[in-house]
Amino acid sequence: MNGGPGDDNINGGAGNDTIDGGAGDDTIIFGTGFDSINGGNGFDTLRIQGRFILSNAGSLARGVVVDRPNQANFEATLPTAFDSRNPLRVNLQAGASFTNIERLEIRGTRQADIVNAFYERTPVHITGGNGSDQLFGGTGNDVLIGGRGRDILNGFGAVTNQSTIDILTGGGGRDRFVLADADLHNSAYYVKARANDYAVITDFQRGIDEIVLYDYGIQLANYTFADTRVSYGTVTNAQATSITVGGDLIAYLVGMRPADLSASDFVFVRSDR
């Protein structure tokens, strides 16, 4: 299937398809067969929706976690299977890349989905659905939307100092926004690029949601909270609280003022290594 020069919506559907979006800003939807996809010119979006299981072994499994293989480009064939009863499990491995795809869009299910784009450089747009989801962005400018349920949102990715801006929306439920870890990075996220990379948390609920910060020894005393304004996506000049540590901006909390926050809104992590 060839998209031509316009802005196309192409659905792979059933069967083994070869899709070329051509020129224009295209949206390409994974089908249920073995699809080979090239976005072509323009700003193209690859959408994974419903309940897909991605396999790198040529055999189709049900209800298990399967990884996308390390590929030189995305034109390599991916087998997909549709299963209406199981949650979405997507793990994009280090070294995988896309051909002429500017945004990867993944839509979850009503179940507890796990989407891990930790090593992905293509910007990802992940919507979790109604379950208690775990959503992990990559090193691009990502958008994570938890939906209903008790979700975990982590937009940072595997590489520091990438000047990325991630937009995190928890949705309904008691959500956790992760801005640090004590494992891979062992630090706060969005540091080393000053004010050029940060997370925008659009709907923090005080007393309900939690924010994970790194414990540099004095917990909240190491962080500065300031009343400010932020623009993101299609939103301009929204009231927000900024969070900085050591002169590095790490997050904006939209609609919040510093006085609205208390120590109980935060969880601290730290490693002794």
Question: CA-based angle 113:175:191, to the nearest 5?
Answer: 100
Task: Give the pLDDT of residue 91.
Answer: 57
pLDDT score recorded for residue 161: 65
Each domain of the chain, given as residue ranges in start order, spans: 1-81, 110-269
What are the φ/ψ torsions at residue 265 (nearest 5 degrees)?
-80, -5
Amino acid at 84: S
What pTM does this model have? Answer: 0.72
pLDDT, tens digit, 9 for 90 and up, residues 231-240: 999 999 999 9
Q: Which amino acid is at 164?
A: T
pLDDT of residue 257: 98
For the chain (273 residues), the mean pLDDT of every run of 10, in chain order, is 73 65 71 58 61 35 30 29 48 52 70 78 83 89 93 86 89 95 88 92 97 90 96 96 96 98 95 69
Among 240, 271, 245, 272, which Cα is nearest to 257's?
Answer: 240
In the block, residue with structure tokens 């507890």:
112
Give the tens place of pLDDT for each residue, 88-120.
566 555 544 455 555 677 777 778 888 887 777
Q: Measured over all CA atoms, what is the biggest interatomic distance in the chain, rounded to whole angstroms?
A: 59
Given a contact cutoff of 8 angstroms between Cβ atoms, the answer to whether 40 and 23 are in contact is: yes
Q: Give the pLDDT confidence score for residue 16 in this predicted structure.
A: 62
Neighbour-count burial of 237, counting CB atoms closer than 10 A to its CB (0-12 exposed, 13-18 middle, 19+ buried): exposed
Handedness of CA 210, 214, 217, 221 (dihedral sign): negative
Q: Which residues contact 49 (CB under 8 A, 6 or more apart)?
A: 29, 30, 105, 106, 107
